Amino acid sequence: ILKETKKDLRIEHRGALWTKGRVAAALAPKDGRYYEAALDVYATMERLDGGDFEPGLRISELLIMMGRYSEALYPINKAIHNDPK
């Protein structure tokens, strides 16, 4: 029996969350209820790995799409700070 480590489970969970977020974000322009669902998914991803810049970028993009421009500044600045380049 293979024993999965906590890190392995987190990586699998992260992949599933990433897919769920992308699907919700794609559906959001057609049905606004999906904006909040996508935001929740990306916020969860950010909590799982606070050093990854990608969830912050996605959160900012969604907030901009929702017309919440001033709210988009914090996650984008945080993402820029976390970007290794």
Query: pLDDT tens, 58-81?
Result: 999 999 999 999 999 999 888 888
Residues in the chain predicted with pLDDT less than 50, given as ranges, are: 1-2, 4
Compute the 3-state secondary structure of the chain and give helix, strand, coil in percent, each to the nearest 5.
75, 0, 25
Between CA 32 and CA 11 the distance in angstroms is 29
Q: What pLDDT shows up at residue 5?
A: 52
